[in-house]
C-alpha cells in the first residue's frame, strides 16, 4: 500500500537525495559537489540541516568536506563493508576473535589468489613482502601483505572483509603489535606464501596461510593471556 515515500526524518531524505545526486551525476571519488549553500538551496533547507546529512555521509567516507575548499565524493561511496568508524576500544577477547576470524577466512582467500592473481597483483604482493623489511625510509606507500593478498583474489568484497578486519585491529593495537610480532618469522612465511601464489598452487597457498595465521594466533594468545 503506502509506498512510504516519507521514509522518516528530513535528515534521512537528505542523505538519500545527496546519494541520488551522486548516482545520477555519475560522480566518483574525487569529484566535487556543490557548495553547502547551494545544496541547502537546492533541497530547500537551511545550512545546518544539509550539514547534518553531509556529516552522516562523511562518516562512511561517502563524501569528504575540506575546510575552505569544497565537498568531494570519497572512496567510501563504492564500499559495501567497513570497519565501524565510531569504534570503542577493543577488549582482549575481541583481538583474539579477530585473529581467529582471519584464520577461518584468509586461507581460502589465499587459494583464490593463487588461482586468480594477475601480474600486477604479483608485483604489489612482492612490494608488500619487502615493505616490512625496509621500514620507514621508503617514499612509496606501505603495503600490507594480507591486504594485497586479498586484493589478488580478484574479489572486491573479500578484500573489504580483510581490510575491515585489519583496520579494526590497527586502530589501536599498533604499539602492542610491534612488540609481540615475530617479524623475521612473518617475513619468511610471507615469502613462502608469495611463491605459492606466484606458482598458482592454490592448495599450497591455503596451507601456508593457515599455518602462518595459526602461528600468529599462538603468539597473540600467549602474549595476551599471561598479561591481563
Partner DNA sequence: TGGCGAAAATTGACTAAATCACTTGCTCAA
Partner DNA sequence: TTGAGCAAGTGATTTAGTCAATTTTCGCCA
Nearest approach, Cβ of residue 160 and a copy of itself (Å): 9
Measured CA distances, 12 to 24, 57, 89, 153, 170 (Å) = 18, 11, 29, 36, 32
With binding defined as CB under 8 A, does residue 100 bind a copy of itself? yes
Find the binder of DNA among 24, 26, 44, 174 (CB under 7 A): 44
Helix (H, G, I), strand (E, B) or coil at 68: coil
Q: Does 85 bind a copy of itself (CB under 8 A)?
A: yes
- CB closer to a copy of itself, 118 vs 184: 118
* 125 near a copy of itself, rule: CB under 8 A: no
* Interactions with a copy of itself, residue window 19-48 (CB under 8 A): 19, 22-23, 48
CA-to-CA separations, 190 to 123, 136, 141, 155, in angstroms, rounded:
14, 19, 18, 21
Q: At what angle do helices 202-225 and 183-199 cross, to 10 degrees?
A: 160
C-alpha cell of residue 105: 577466512
Q: Which of 17, 32, 79, 201 binds a copy of itself (CB under 8 A)?
A: 79
CA 221 centroid distance within chain:
24
Instruction: Using CB under 7 A, pick the residue from 23, 46, 104, 184 that binds DNA.
Output: 46
Closest-CA residue to 27 (of 77, 64, 66) = 77
Is 78 a binder of a copy of itself (CB under 8 A)?
A: yes
User: Taking CB under 7 A as the criterion, which residues in 16-35 touch DNA?
Assistant: 33, 35
Three-state SS for 6? coil
# binding residues, DNA (CB under 7 A):
23
Closest by CA position to 52, among listed 5, 21, 15, 7: 15
Decide: helix, strand or coil at residue 2: coil
Give the residues lining the site for DNA (CB under 7 A).
9-11, 33, 35-37, 44-49, 51-52, 54, 65-71
Give the residues lining the site for a copy of itself (CB under 8 A).
9, 11, 15, 19, 22-23, 48, 51-53, 55-60, 62, 67, 76-90, 94, 97-98, 100-101, 104-105, 107-109, 112, 153, 155-158, 161, 164-165, 168
Amino acid at each position: 500500500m503506502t509506498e512510504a515515500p516519507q521514509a522518516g526524518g528530513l535528515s534521512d531524505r537528505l542523505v538519500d537525495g545527496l546519494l541520488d545526486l551522486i548516482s545520477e551525476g555519475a560522480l566518483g571519488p574525487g569529484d566535487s559537489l556543490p557548495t553547502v549553500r547551494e545544496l541547502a538551496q537546492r533541497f530547500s533547507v537551511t545550512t545546518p540541516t544539509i550539514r547534518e546529512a553531509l556529516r552522516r555521509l562523511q562518516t562512511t567516507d561517502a563524501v569528504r568536506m575540506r575546510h575552505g575548499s569544497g565537498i568531494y565524493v570519497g572512496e567510501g561511496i563504492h564500499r559495501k563493508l567497513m570497519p565501524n568508524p565510531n569504534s570503542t576500544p577493543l577488549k582482549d577477547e575481541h583481538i583474539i576473535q579477530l585473529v581467529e576470524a582471519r584464520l577461518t577466512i584468509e586461507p581460502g582467500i589465499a587459494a583464490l589468489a593463487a588461482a586468480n592473481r594477475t601480474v600486477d597483483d604479483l608485483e604489489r604482493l612482492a612490494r608488500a613482502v619487502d615493505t616490512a623489511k625496509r621500514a620507514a625510509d621508503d617514499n612509496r606507500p606501505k603495503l600490507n601483505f594480507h591486504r594485497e593478498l586479498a586484493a589478488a583474489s580478484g574479489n572486491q568484497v573479500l578484500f573489504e572483509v580483510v581490510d575491515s578486519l585489519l583496520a579494526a585491529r590497527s586502530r589501536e593495537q599498533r604499539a602492542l603489535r610491534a612488540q609481540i610480532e615475530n617479524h623475521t618469522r612473518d617475513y619468511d612465511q610471507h615469502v613462502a606464501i608469495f611463491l605459492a601464489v606466484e606458482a598458482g598452487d592454490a592448495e599450497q597457498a591455503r596451507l601456508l596461510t593457515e599455518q602462518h595465521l595459526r602461528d600468529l594466533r599462538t603468539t597473540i594468545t600467549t602474549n595476551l593471556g599471561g598479561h591481563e
